[in-house]
Amino acid sequence: MTPASAPAASTAEAGGRVLDHPALDEIRIEGVLHALSDPMRLRIVRELAAAEGELTCSRFELPVSKSTSTHHFRVLRESGIIQQIYRGTAKMNGLRRDDLEALFPGLLDSVLGAANRQVRRVGEDR
């Protein structure tokens, strides 16, 4: 399975280390909502949206262990919310904005808006 929006060139770049991503028609609203229902994952998505580009995993200073962090990124990838691509030795993370917008118009923006408002209202997530 290849990520719908990952450029084919990434395979060569990665020397074959390509991570599984759901194709567009495999992404389900239940999985997306589940992935977004965790405070740490929601925080990752908010930071990726604010960055408006790819970020390495190490750019996120999450108050959780490395293995928990890796788990959260995997849940986000397997649900179709982010793509993870090796560029050299760095694993880069990016939102699949266009794919999500095509499937669920307005959903990501309304979740991001709600999450950002909540942070202003009750403070940062744990």
DSSP characters for 79-110? HTSEEEEEETTEEEEEE-HHHHHHHSTTHHHH
What is the rounded CA–CA span in Å between residue 111 and residue 37? 10
How far CA 40 is from CA of 18, 22, 46, 101, 109, in Å, comes to 24, 21, 10, 22, 18
Query: Least distance from C-beta 118 to a second copy, angstroms?
Result: 5
- Residues in region 94-113 near a second copy by CB under 8 A: 103-107, 109-111, 113
**Beta carbon nearer to a second copy, 2 or 118:** 118
Options 15, 17, 37, 56; binder of a second copy; rule CB under 8 A? 37
Q: For a second copy, how many residues bind (rule: CB under 8 A)? A: 28
Task: Dig out the tokens for 19 from the structure.
Answer: 């991570």
**Beta carbon nearer to a second copy, 60 or 104:** 104
Options 5, 12, 36, 98; binder of a second copy; rule CB under 8 A? 36
Give the 3-state secondary structure percentages of the chain, helix then strand then coil, rounded to 5.
55, 10, 35
34 lines the binding site for a second copy (CB under 8 A): yes
Residues that bind a second copy (CB under 8 A): 25, 28-31, 33-34, 36-39, 42, 103-107, 109-111, 113-115, 117-118, 121-122, 125
